[in-house]
A and B are shown apart, each in its own frame.
Chain A
Amino acid sequence: MNLYLVKRILALIPVLFVVSVVIFLIIHITPGDPASVILGESATAQDVEALRQQLGLDLPIYQQYMNWITDVLRGDLGESYFMKESVSEAIFSHLQPTLSLAILAQIIALLIAIPLGITAALRRGTAADQTVMGFSLLGMAIPSFLLALFLILLVGVKLQWLPVAGYKPLEAGLWNHLKYLILPAVSLGAIQSALITRMTRSSMLEVLNMNYMKAARSKGVKERQLIYKHALRNAFLPILTVIGQTFGGLVTGAVVTETIFNIPGIGQLIINSVERRDYEVIQGVVLFVTCVYVFINLIVDILYGVIDPRVRLERK
């Protein structure tokens, strides 16, 4: 394989190591622990202490870390304190809904954002531009829960077109699967599109005045092609970057949306395991999320070079 790729993949190791240490520290600084959560609302400090001992949570922190990391190196991410499944199973089972949702939301966001951003850039200063920018401002400033609730009330409750919340896996049939995802995907997509729209507009503005646009126009390239092919590709690096970021954000936890729509995804897993102090799961998920980001950013970086051949990420 290529040296650059190898280097990037090897770089994952120190990143994971550092992240795991940091997370471990953070988790253990944070008050509350799984014992107190298991025991419920009215447990006493003594009860909690007893359970802590039984669970091995009273060991010195470096020892706990060593125990954990040796397991991880053996490929075992550990067991949840709460779920009857291993951490890797938990991640896997929560990944499916999140992936479906993320992909759908991303598609929606792009379908909204790219054309709108381009329109705004082309019609800069006109009413169309201002309308588009107005909407994207709404998207930026409105908390996602408001849009989600609005959609639920309108489409789910008033019109009763789609279920308000919940999730069905793909095995339940495509439509059954999608039906639950459309609303959350739309609400996420719409919000995410705000940033992409603005980024598209401003990056497009940077390139529209370039000479090569003039030259392409002089060849008789149709306006659409001119924009979508010649300009967009040149303007695409920052756009791609935010797409990568939003996608990363979607895959690793659209917490609010998942909560409102009751989607048992990675976001829920993260927030719930933080709320339950499910240490092993938190650690596992964070490692997983790190891999996701490293991977997405790797792809984005490779795409940089494909999109713009001038970009070089390594020395020759």
Chain B
Amino acid sequence: MSHEALETRKPLLDVRGLKKYFPVKGPLGTLGGVKGYVKAVNDVSFQLHAGETLGIVGESGCGKSTMGRTILRLTDPTAGQALYGDQDIFQLSGKELQKIRRDMQMVFQDPFSSLNPRKRIGQILEEPLAIHSIGDPKERTERVMEMMHKVGLQVDHYFRYPHEFSGGQRQRIGLARALVVNPQIVISDEPVSALDVSIQSQIINLLQELQAEYRLTYLFIAHDISVVRHISDRIGVMYLGQMVEQAPTESLFANPLHPYTQALLSAVPIPNPQRKKERIILRGEIPSPMNPPSGCIFHTRCPLAMDVCKQEVPPQLEAAPQHMVSCHFYTKP
């Protein structure tokens, strides 16, 4: 997919200034009162264009899953907008929200707990079709079986319970559930992390085929950089609730700008026991989202940190075409 034309087109999903704070409560729960906030997502903006894949990578706990869940309104946002077409998802309620959820599906990070242990796989997979009244029962079954087949599950698994599956199989069930309704946007939170490479590649191929066929749009959250690299058109790098760098894949890998991105890329393990490579080791305490550092959030661990980083929040800069980065290093060299 080419990204030249993207700028001019209207985005499919436009997220602006998304914030999500979780209150921190005392040991007595409800009684203790709020003690502070976890700033899980702190002012994130990005656009998602029809047919593209935006990969999200970032530190564990930086708010990727929360961002996905908030966009789908599974938890209420603290601030921000998420425009889908001309509707702000955050303003919708009830029926409208349910309708929009047909177009937006989510693959959950935690494959087991997102499956109802009392339901058979067939039921779980047919449910979204039933919810949106797609097809008659017979068609639904066929569609589900097809989907099971596509994600590498056997049709015989139709009547099994989730606990009878292995981790990877559960993950594929979650994926199948998201894909079965033919959504517009799929927010997938680590959809292939529990898969062995051969099935992983099968799934990635599937995702790409479906994308080509139906112009699907993916928000693809993953830790496996090589997978993200393979599938994404653009990649966003998150750190501590913020998007620190956003760029087309080639540009990012060829020229990672943000020091965090650089460290991240250097840490990717290589499947070759002979080749041991040099990693950028990040020093310093990882800051907590309850109490994020002032100025540039990365300054506490940044090898390039300057004085200004401690005080000023770096502005977003378009360092190369569509390559956005928030780092003082490039604005105030």
Contacts and interface: CB of A to CB of B under 8 A. Distances in A.
A and B interact physically: yes
A2 B30 contact: yes
Contacts of A2: 30-31, 33
Contact of A314 (B30, B33, B76, B112): B30
Nearest to B113: A211
Contact of A5 (B31, B76, B112, B163): B31
Contacts of B31: 2, 4-5, 302, 305
B33 A305 contact: no
A124 interface: no
A185 B250 CA distance: 77
Nearest to A310: B29
B30 A302 contact: yes
Tell me if A's interface is mostly helix, strand, loop or mixed. Answer: loop
A306 interface: yes
Interface string A272-313: 000000000000000000000000000000100110010111
A309 B76 CA distance: 19
Contacts of B30: 2, 4, 302, 305, 312-314
A189 to B, nearest CB: 30
Contact of A309 (B23, B29, B112): B29
A183 B112 CA distance: 50
Contacts of A316: 23, 76
Interface residues of B, number: 10
A4 B28 CA distance: 13
Interface residues of A, number: 14
Interface in B40-86: 76
A17 to B, nearest CB: 26
Given A2-B33, A211-B112, A306 B23 contact: no
A312 B32 CA distance: 13
B23 A305 contact: no
A2 B31 CA distance: 6
A306 B28 contact: yes
Interface in A3-38: 4-5
A127 B185 CA distance: 55
A211 B167 CA distance: 12
A2 B27 CA distance: 14
Nearest to A314: B30
Nearest to B34: A316
A5 B163 CA distance: 40
Interface in B147-184: 163
A211 B30 CA distance: 28
B189 to A, nearest CB: 19
A45 B33 CA distance: 62
Task: For the complex of A and B, list the 10 residue pairs with the smallest distance between their C-beta atoms, beginning with the closest.
Answer: A305-B29, A305-B30, A4-B30, A2-B31, A306-B29, A309-B29, A316-B23, A2-B33, A313-B30, A302-B31
Interface of A: 2, 4-5, 209, 211, 302, 305-306, 309, 311-314, 316
Interface of B: 23, 27-31, 33, 76, 112, 163
26 contacts: A2-B30, A2-B31, A2-B33, A4-B30, A4-B31, A5-B31, A209-B163, A211-B112, A302-B29, A302-B30, A302-B31, A305-B28, A305-B29, A305-B30, A305-B31, A306-B27, A306-B28, A306-B29, A309-B29, A311-B29, A312-B29, A312-B30, A313-B30, A314-B30, A316-B23, A316-B76
